[in-house]
Amino acid sequence: MRGTVDSIYRHPVKGLTPEPMVTARLDAGAYFPGDRAFAIEVGPSGFDPANPRHISKQRFTVLARFPALARVKTRLDDATGIFHVGDAHGFGVETRLDTDEGRASLERFLQAFLGEDAPGTLRVLESPPGYRFMDHPQGYISVMNLASVRAVAHAIGRDVDPLRFRANVYVDGLRPWAEDEWVAGSPVKLGGAELSVFKPIVRCVATHVNLETGERDIDMVDMLRQNFGRDTLGTYLSVTAGGDIRIGDTLEG
């Protein structure tokens, strides 16, 4: 199969705003650059940076648990290190994720935004080397077939924002569900990098959330089951040979 990279995204803070990228450098055996490098614990979660182990996403501020977070818009400026966060009413802060004071500022903002919905103390966590706050411990890179998203939208009779699925790479030009032909270990060429298929991505209630209103307006998991007899959409892959990828590059697999 052959498709074209339509868009590329990272999620610097787990559960918060996807950030568009024009290009990215993929390294063998590594996670997607800048993706899920931080997470906000609804603590205590038991996370130990000296001995990091996978922890359920429900222990963090994610859309599956706090759909209203979709109304919070964030952006990390790599040049300055400033993390911008704000709500639809213009209230927000500019802070840093690499200082105690900066992290505390973000914690206070989100604690005020979520209010009593957040029962534990919020704490910004930074991933130690070789670890990321992924939904699956081997979910190094996620790829989404836009034709499959359009097939879902057609089946349920309404538009579906592909960003609901929080992927890293969105590919167009494939047949709907062409990714079902991949099996674990299948080689995939993506731009200048070589990848290996890991597994389809099982979807959860995070995909139910409208990214503008912060409301659950589509029961996506049920729609997938009813219309397609599945609860997966998108694919996890790992990098076997590093290289650059950019919008317009070719995916072959």
Question: What percent of the chain has pLDDT above 70?
Answer: 100
Q: What is the pLDDT of residue 81?
A: 95
Q: At what angle do helices 220-228 and 146-156 cross, to 10 degrees?
A: 90
Asked if the model's pLDDT at residue 88 lies above 80, the reply is: no
User: In this predicted model, what pLDDT tens digit does every residue of 59-71 receive, in sequence order?
Assistant: 999 999 999 999 9
The reply to whether 131 falls in a domain is: no
The two tokens of residue 37 are 């490098």
61 neighbors 69 (Cβ within 8 angstroms): yes
User: In this predicted model, what pLDDT tens digit does every residue of 112-143 receive, in sequence order?
Assistant: 999 988 888 999 999 999 999 999 999 999 99
The reply to whether 64 falls in a domain is: yes
- Picking from 76, 104, 126, the residue at the C-terminal end of a domain is 126
Pair 53, 87 in one domain:
yes
| Pairwise CA distance, residues 187 & 199, whole Å | 13
Q: What is the pLDDT of residue 251?
A: 98
Pair 16, 47 in one domain:
no
User: In this predicted model, what pLDDT tens digit does every residue of 184-209 receive, in sequence order?
Assistant: 999 999 999 999 999 999 999 999 99
Tokens 């990321």 sit at which residue? 132
The Cβ-side half-sphere exposure at 199, using a 13 Å CA radius, reads 10
Task: List the one residue out of 109, 100, 107, 134 whose CA is nearest residue 121.
Answer: 107
Pair 82, 20 in one domain:
no
Pair 146, 234 in one domain:
yes
| Pairwise CA distance, residues 87 & 73, whole Å | 6
Q: What is the pLDDT of residue 118?
A: 87
Q: 87: pLDDT confidence band, cut at 50, 70 and 90?
A: confident
The reply to whether 112 falls in a domain is: yes
Query: What would the mean pLDDT of 44-55 be, rounded to a whole number?
Result: 93
Query: What would the mean pLDDT of 39-47 be, rounded to a whole number?
Result: 93
Pair 246, 173 in one domain:
yes
Query: What would the mean pLDDT of 10-32 be, rounded to a whole number?
Result: 98
How confident is the prediction for the chain on average, in pLDDT?
96
Pair 146, 235 in one domain:
yes
The reply to whether 87 falls in a domain is: yes
Where in the sequence is the domain holding 78, given as residue range(s)? 38-126
| Pairwise CA distance, residues 13 & 16, whole Å | 6
Total structural domains within the chain: 2
Which residue type, as a one-letter code, is found at position 57?
K
- Picking from 126, 157, 181, the residue at the C-terminal end of a domain is 126
- Picking from 79, 95, 126, the residue at the C-terminal end of a domain is 126
